Chain A
Amino acid sequence: MTIKKTMLGTLSLLALTASPVLAEGTINVLTWEGYADPSFLTKFEETSGCQVNATYVGSNDDFAPKLMAGGGVYDLITPSIDTTKLMIDLDFVEPLDTSKIEGWNDIYPKFLALDGIQKDGEYYGMPYVWGAIAFMYRDDAFDTPPTSIADLWREDLKGKISLWDDKSAIYVAARKNGDMNIYSLSDEQIEKAKQSLVEQKPLIRKYWATAGELVDLYKAGEVVISNTWAGYQSSLLADEGIKVTEFIPTEGAEGWMDSWMVVKGSPNKECAYKFLNMQLSEQGQCGVANVNGYSVANAAAAKSCMSPEQYAALHQDDPDYLDSLLIWQSLGDRFEAYTNAWNSVKAQ
């Protein structure tokens, strides 16, 4: 089993490091794991005649450096809604011809209204999947379930708490302090959030950086409460037989949404649009929902390809849930103030 896994790992590493072929009918996508999963991609490759090479990112911070290193390699990318604006401002992506995308009008209006995927009246991103940055706890560690962000500051949980190693830590701390305008915090509010995080630091076992790392931390019994990418790590833990429960704290949760974007000057437009159409269809939407456990952007596709249970569990028909989420925004030139504060917490 492990040997097989290692070999598989080596093979996929080879596949990743081999330079992408720039032939006609081939598209190179830079995306998250699961968004180009063989379970629904193989069929696409067979029917469309387009071959897909996927390279995976570990964080939204990987998109800009990878594209900055020079164009002409990737055709499609899937940054989250806090990074899409940066891609547009960096001139890395081009406007979409939405008339060529079937099902565009079935996308939740809330997503199409987002500022981060458009500029000068044109769309640059095709909403794909979404979810919450929920919180999660180990069932066997709590008699009364936690309900608040403040539970991540509890002395009696010292050494059993984890927090995502990301600027979103500032969002979490700000909400704990009662500052709900998390994407437009003033310098004083950021400073206050920073102080709260410094206070919390002795209670933290480890800041988690990757999905796998958080799963390992729960599995090894190191942590019992943390934030999480709703639907993803909890299902991985369920597979391992570890009982965890996700919750949206009383202070609310952030929401994220990932969009497909076409890289400027991509020579493989035809395949790129075929790919976009597939991803927004039932094939792509239910494909990714089954692999990653994320909610999807195309309401009509979700309704027809999901079971009623899955449809409900993924909050596809729950406008209140979606509205309750504080959807990530581009921080623009305030970005530095946030990242600087978070880095300074880690330097303490």
Chain B
Amino acid sequence: MSFLRRNLPSMLVMGIPLMWIALFMLLPYGIIVTYSFWLKKYPTFIPAFQFGNYITIFTDPQYVRVFLRTLKISVLVSMASFLLAYPFAYYLVFRCRSVALRTWLYMAVIAPLWVSYLLRAYIWKTILGTEGVLNSFLMSLGIIDEPSSLFLYNQFAMVVTLTYIFIPFMVMPIYTALEKIPTNLTEASADLGMGPWRSFWTVTLPLSLPGVAAGFTLTFCLSFGDFIAPFLVGGPDGNLIANVIATQFGAALNWPLGSALAIVMLVVVLTIVSLSDRMERKGMTGGV
């Protein structure tokens, strides 16, 4: 009795989150894993234990193709976000002298997160469309004679839209990582005769790698699971893996195959997360 009384608070403190994890993470995953072994049979599906769904995923070229396409789009989005976000974050931390301006610029990147995702994707539709803002602009400059349909409803439009939507998740960790670098390290590097470029390559960049890895992981995983951008700005060749999963749960009424696809997707994402985790750790211990 006294044991219980003594331990009750800590049991509650630990128990509630553990229950939450069990109820809202482990249980749903368990259900999905179970479904993934079931069998499709009209009108729906029946319990079974067989690997047919997984075999289908790896032998029917349509699933491999969509997985590879999703991988490509996610990598492109992460790369584009990185190339834009790093110089921006670098400028904010090391070059921007005015605190007010820095706050404003930082907020300008973060603020779109408060706007509905759908709205932000729609905006790109009006920008990239055949009669859209970009086309009118290029025509008014005389660069093109007639509106181009090359900007919207293709993979380019998806990468642009997803980069815009997920770039805050790249800026934030890089900004934080750069901000943590003590200025005396770069000063010491300069004192020892290093030029600004070499200081950047040998001191600043390596120290900021954990932030870069975190940014890559976030943008990659978010893009990998996206299914709105293909729907709104993607073209006929824009189907991503999340769309295929949605189709299996809806139109095709094949929850077993949809579950198996979700599990494969989960494995890919978890692999990326653990790889990046290892990199972050290496960056932290090896860097300083």
Residues of A in contact with B (beta carbons under 8 Å apart) = 59, 61-62, 64-65, 68, 86, 89-90, 159, 166-167, 201, 204-207, 209, 220-222, 332-333, 335-336, 339-340, 343-344, 346-348
Q: A65-B249, A167-B251 known; A335 and B42 CB under 8 Å?
A: yes
On whether the beta carbons of A346 and B239 are closer than 8 Å, the reply is yes
On whether the beta carbons of A221 and B236 are closer than 8 Å, the reply is no
On whether the beta carbons of B40 and A336 are closer than 8 Å, the reply is yes
A336–B43 Cα gap in the complex (Å)?
10
B183 at the binding interface (Cβ < 8 Å) = no
On whether the beta carbons of A86 and B43 are closer than 8 Å, the reply is yes
Q: A204-B235, A209-B231, A346-B243 are in contact. List 12 more A-B contacts (CB 8 A).
A: A89-B43, A90-B44, A205-B235, A206-B153, A207-B236, A221-B130, A221-B147, A222-B130, A222-B149, A222-B153, A335-B42, A343-B244
A6–B254 Cα gap in the complex (Å)?
36
Give the interface residue-count category, chain B. 20 to 34
Q: Which of B62, B130, B236 has the most CB of A within 10 A?
A: B236
By a CB distance below 8 angstroms, the chain A residues around B243 are 346
B237 at the binding interface (Cβ < 8 Å) = yes
By a CB distance below 8 angstroms, the chain B residues around A90 are 43-44
A4–B153 Cα gap in the complex (Å)?
30
A323–B33 Cα gap in the complex (Å)?
48
By a CB distance below 8 angstroms, the chain A residues around B43 are 86, 89-90
Q: Which of A62, A166, A347 has the most CB of B within 10 A?
A: A347
A207–B129 Cα gap in the complex (Å)?
16
B66 at the binding interface (Cβ < 8 Å) = yes
Q: Which of B149, B250, B252, B253 contacts A59 (CB 8 A)?
A: B250
A204–B239 Cα gap in the complex (Å)?
14
B131 at the binding interface (Cβ < 8 Å) = yes
A–B complex contacts, Cβ < 8 Å, 17 sampled: A65-B249, A86-B43, A201-B237, A205-B153, A207-B236, A220-B129, A220-B130, A221-B131, A222-B129, A222-B130, A340-B252, A343-B62, A343-B247, A346-B236, A346-B243, A347-B65, A347-B244
By a CB distance below 8 angstroms, the chain B residues around A332 are 42
On whether the beta carbons of A220 and B44 are closer than 8 Å, the reply is no
By a CB distance below 8 angstroms, the chain B residues around A166 are 251
Q: Which of B62, B236, B250 contacts A206 (CB 8 A)?
A: B236
Residues of B in contact with A (beta carbons under 8 Å apart) = 40, 42-44, 60, 62-63, 65-66, 129-132, 147, 149, 152-153, 231, 235-237, 239, 243-244, 247, 249-254
CB closest residue in chain A, given B152: A222
By a CB distance below 8 angstroms, the chain B residues around A346 are 236, 239, 243
By a CB distance below 8 angstroms, the chain A residues around B62 are 343-344, 347-348
CB closest residue in chain B, given A159: B149
CB closest residue in chain B, given A201: B236
By a CB distance below 8 angstroms, the chain B residues around A347 are 62-63, 65-66, 239, 244
A347–B236 Cα gap in the complex (Å)?
9
A123–B236 Cα gap in the complex (Å)?
40
On whether the beta carbons of A343 and B252 are closer than 8 Å, the reply is yes
On whether the beta carbons of A204 and B236 are closer than 8 Å, the reply is yes
By a CB distance below 8 angstroms, the chain A residues around B149 are 159, 205, 222
Q: How far is the CB of A188 from chain B (nearest CB, A)?
A: 18
By a CB distance below 8 angstroms, the chain B residues around A64 are 44, 253
A166–B250 Cα gap in the complex (Å)?
12
By a CB distance below 8 angstroms, the chain B residues around A59 are 250-251
CB closest residue in chain B, given A200: B236
CB closest residue in chain B, given A203: B236
By a CB distance below 8 angstroms, the chain A residues around B65 are 347-348
By a CB distance below 8 angstroms, the chain A residues around B251 are 59, 61, 166-167, 339
By a CB distance below 8 angstroms, the chain B residues around A159 are 149
By a CB distance below 8 angstroms, the chain B residues around A65 are 249-250, 253
On whether the beta carbons of A206 and B130 are closer than 8 Å, the reply is no
Q: How far is the CB of B25 from chain A (nearest CB, A)?
A: 20
By a CB distance below 8 angstroms, the chain A residues around B40 are 336
By a CB distance below 8 angstroms, the chain A residues around B235 are 204-206
Which 4 pairs, one residue from A and one from B, show the smallest C-beta to C-beta distance?
Answer: A347-B62, A61-B251, A333-B42, A89-B43
Q: How far is the CB of A39 from chain B (nearest CB, A)?
A: 28
Q: A90-B43, A336-B254, A347-B63 known; A220 and B131 CB under 8 Å?
A: yes
Q: How far is the CB of B144 from chain A (nearest CB, A)?
A: 15
By a CB distance below 8 angstroms, the chain A residues around B147 are 221
